[in-house]
Structure 1
Amino acid sequence: MRVAILGAGSIAYGNAALLASLGHEPVLWSPSGKSGQSIVAGKPLSAMGSLEGTFKVTMATSARDAIAGADAVLVALPANGHRMALDAAAPHLASGQIVIISSHTSFSGLYIAKKIAERGLDIPVVVWGTTVTAGRRTGDASVNVSTIRSKVDIATIPASAGARGLKVCQELFGDRFVERSDALAISLSNLNPQNHLGIALCNFTRMEHGETWGQNENNTDSVGRLLEALDAERLAIAEAAGYKVRTIREHYNLSFHVEPGPVGEMARQLAARGNGGNGPDSIDTRYVLEDAPFGLHPTVLLGKLTDRPATLHQAGIDVFSALYGRDFASENDLLDDIGLKTMSLAELKTLVRDGWSTRSPQ
């Protein structure tokens, strides 16, 4: 299958290498136009780590060229780039394609579903709770794939297209997907924002000094307790909204195959086997710049909708805003167009189930 990958960073490269290894045809697009110039010149994509080899991939010069003839469009870039990439992609989508969001934060799946509804197209939007691959881009045509996850939660907008969405994902990436009820369940299953909050905040000066530090070895017992307290807020919101989602301990167990226990202990298991890599070496990191406005802020809003205040999540946004001298909540450029701030919980649940068919996309 031909897959347009919107993005040219670590996740995009990891997905491209995995798709190529499975016999598919990945076509990358760099929104900035700066990445992948050596791939444009014909250099293969080199992968190491959990996936090793060199793979033939293509780098398109525009979103239109990447999407033309694609069976699926995979959004694989930080959430603070979703709106720009989705706006560039929307005019070129065609019925019969499928859009996949890897991974789903800030209801960007609803944003592109609205664009699709405005054009009257038959295009399901599949949202993932996390990425299939994790790792770091190591060069203009190279990536270190640290993890290929065995289980990834997915849902489709509208939910009635769930079988179609699941089938395409399985054809592309294999039998690793767990179907959930709807996109709200997926949003409430995304642990990256809360985990990155605890890890980044408790190791902030290491990032600011540009140190090299092991992420899991510095996910100490104290940091683990903070992550579990953040997790408790997310779990309370999910329960109030009528969803059962995995705990952080279950996530570590299923994603990284470590024995269950306190998060600090599970992180030490990962550190002992050399898994997890280094933490950010700069405060210019997606752990804050992406996750504060596009991960933590939506959780705070969902806490208000369900009357389960996410006080630690809000505190994290406030502390990061003070550290950076900026208002991270205001930097989310998706939620106003979706209308989340003015919705009731019932309206949101109807929207993620049925898409915009029962609600005007205008």
Structure 2
Amino acid sequence: MSSKLSVSIIGAGNCGCTFAVDLVNRGFDVLLYGHPHHRRNIDAIRRDGHLVARMAIEGKFHPTLATEMATAVQFSRFLVITVPSYGHDDIINELKDFDLSRHIIVAINGNFFGLACSKELNALAILETNASPYASWVQKGEVLVGGIKTSLPIAAFPNTLGEKHWCQIPEIFPQQLQWYDNVFEIGMQSNNGVIHPIAAILNTGRIESTKGDFFFYRDGISPSVGSVIEAVDRERLAIADALGFQLQSVLQEMLGFYGGNFDKFSDFAFHTSVHNATNATPTQMQDRFVAEDVPYILVPWYELGAKVGVEARTMKAVVEISSVINGVNYFESGRNLRRLGMDQMSRTELLQFVGNATCHSPWSSTAVLNPAPSATPSATRNR
């Protein structure tokens, strides 16, 4: 390896491939890891000899490729995990046998990853973001980068390490990082958990009969669906408030990312050009809109609410209906407090566990997306 800063990207999907081309484009040494059982994109890059990017990033790029975790761990002390949440356990199992005491792990989207692996990995620190840095997707072997956010929320677990340990982290990201106090705040700020499951289950018949042949935002989020989204969002904000966090509503966050001036989420959904450029609709109900966002976001939200005395009835209903639809008890199989080892903790103990320090600045609500010229992105998968 050269003397340039190196980064290992764990996961060769939409976000992983985009992060790889962006880092190579900015002069980093990059390794892109694909799991041996999920190596389609890795094999395609090897076959073509390069990774092609279009729109906000243009060119042919040549990251180092690997399907062995040992190679990724040795390549860099920065490990950026971009796999979906239901792939986290596989990654944790692969990493737990390595000495990671000098490594910093960044999980995108985190969804309480740091808490899930706190007893398994001995990493120096684990950082989580609540979204992807990019609006991007991989299509026909090409990375299409519709836009790059100008700001990204992030938090560290534990959050007691000094700046010297992660002072290079801002160099890795293409936008300004806004540091939250702890990973509970990041986990509670996921807009995917508010939007995706509700719009999916309230359009179940349409998804199954058309195989997703409609626009998820414009057609799927009617005023009534938008009202349910807003109800779950109010419950999320109440849980966050009981934990001591003042967070943005999902509408405020989306307007900050993409612009506009709307009072109702359904109006934003109908008018957003970014999300309506393609339909981006699940073709079946086992899609990650449900299979990831319900068990790994709504379940821990609901259980945290129960812990602090917030009755989130609409959120509970969404989890239970999703469980019936997919024949899975998401409350049992999801990222619940028992699986996180936190079911016996009080509110005070929960906050002490994640480190309720106040040394970082809160996130500004002025973040916007920088779209590529004449881009037609679908940002619902990678926000």
Would you call these one fold, judging by a TM-score over 0.5? yes
In the other structure, the counterpart of 2:216 is: 215
Alignment of 1:261-280 (within 5 A): 261-271=263-273, 274-275=276-277, 277-280=279-282
Per-residue CA deviation, residues 58-92 of structure 1 (Å, 9 max, x unaligned), is: 22121111121313101101111101112202323
1:282 aligns with 2:284: yes
- Decide whether the 8 Å contact of 1:39 with 1:57 is kept in 2: no
Following superposition, the deviation at residue 164 of structure 1 comes to 4.8
Partners of 1:92 and 1:134 lie apart in 2 by: 32
- Amino acid corresponding to residue 296 of structure 1 in structure 2: L
**1, 15, 20: which one aligns with 1:16:** 20
Partners of 2:352 and 2:60 lie apart in 1 by: 45
1:257 aligns with 2:259: yes
**341, 347, 353: which one aligns with 2:349:** 347
Partners of 1:237 and 1:334 lie apart in 2 by: 15
Note closer, same or farther for the CA distance 1:164–1:221 as it changes in structure 2 (3 Å cut): farther
- Percent identity among equivalent residues? 23
1:2 aligns with 2:3: no
Following superposition, the deviation at residue 42 of structure 1 comes to 5.5
Deviates more, 1:290-299 or 1:166-175: 166-175
Partners of 1:93 and 1:207 lie apart in 2 by: 45
In the other structure, the counterpart of 2:77 is: 71
Partner of 2:117, secondary structure, is helix
Partners of 2:175 and 2:133 lie apart in 1 by: 11
**76, 81, 84: which one aligns with 2:90:** 84
Aligned length: 349
Note closer, same or farther for the CA distance 1:87–1:145 as it changes in structure 2 (3 Å cut): same
Partners of 1:151 and 1:22 lie apart in 2 by: 18
Partner of 2:138, secondary structure, is strand
1:114 aligns with 2:107: no
Following superposition, the deviation at residue 174 of structure 1 comes to 3.4
Partner of 2:83, secondary structure, is coil
In the other structure, the counterpart of 1:180 is: 180
**240, 243, 246: which one aligns with 2:242:** 240
In the other structure, the counterpart of 1:126 is: 127
- Amino acid corresponding to residue 211 of structure 1 in structure 2: G
- Amino acid corresponding to residue 83 of structure 1 in structure 2: D
- Amino acid corresponding to residue 245 of structure 1 in structure 2: L
In the other structure, the counterpart of 2:58 is: 52
Partners of 1:14 and 1:302 lie apart in 2 by: 33
Considering only aligned residues, what root-mean-square deviation do their CA atoms show, in Å? Answer: 2.3
Partners of 1:37 and 1:198 lie apart in 2 by: 35
In the other structure, the counterpart of 1:359 is: none
- Amino acid corresponding to residue 17 of structure 1 in structure 2: V
Taking structure 1 as the reference length, the TM-score comes to 0.89
Per-residue CA deviation, residues 112-134 of structure 1 (Å, 9 max, x unaligned), is: 333334xxx5x111111211123
Partner of 1:195, secondary structure, is helix
Q: Which has the higher contact order (CA 8 A, sep 6+)?
A: 2
Partners of 1:214 and 1:100 lie apart in 2 by: 32
Instruction: In structure 2, list runs of 5 or more residues that go unmatched.
Output: 358-383
**23, 30, 34: which one aligns with 1:30:** 34
- Higher-helix-fraction structure: 1
Per-residue CA deviation, residues 175-227 of structure 1 (Å, 9 max, x unaligned), is: 42111111111111112112111221122223223132222212222222211
Note closer, same or farther for the CA distance 1:6–1:93 as it changes in structure 2 (3 Å cut): farther
In the other structure, the counterpart of 1:156 is: 156
Instruction: In structure 1, list runs of 5 or more residues that go unmatched.
Output: 356-362
Per-residue CA deviation, residues 97-154 of structure 1 (Å, 9 max, x unaligned), is: 210010121x22123333334xxx5x11111121112332224x42333342222111
Partner of 1:184, secondary structure, is helix
Partner of 1:115, secondary structure, is coil
Note closer, same or farther for the CA distance 1:111–1:124 as it changes in structure 2 (3 Å cut): same
Partners of 2:215 and 2:97 lie apart in 1 by: 43
Partners of 1:68 and 1:186 lie apart in 2 by: 29
Note closer, same or farther for the CA distance 1:202–1:299 as it changes in structure 2 (3 Å cut): same
Following superposition, the deviation at residue 316 of structure 1 comes to 0.7
Taking structure 2 as the reference length, the TM-score comes to 0.84
Deviates more, 1:238-247 or 1:35-44: 35-44
- Decide whether the 8 Å contact of 1:111 with 1:334 is kept in 2: no
Following superposition, the deviation at residue 229 of structure 1 comes to 0.9
In the other structure, the counterpart of 2:296 is: 294
In the other structure, the counterpart of 2:375 is: none
Partner of 1:177, secondary structure, is strand
Partner of 1:342, secondary structure, is coil
Partner of 1:4, secondary structure, is strand
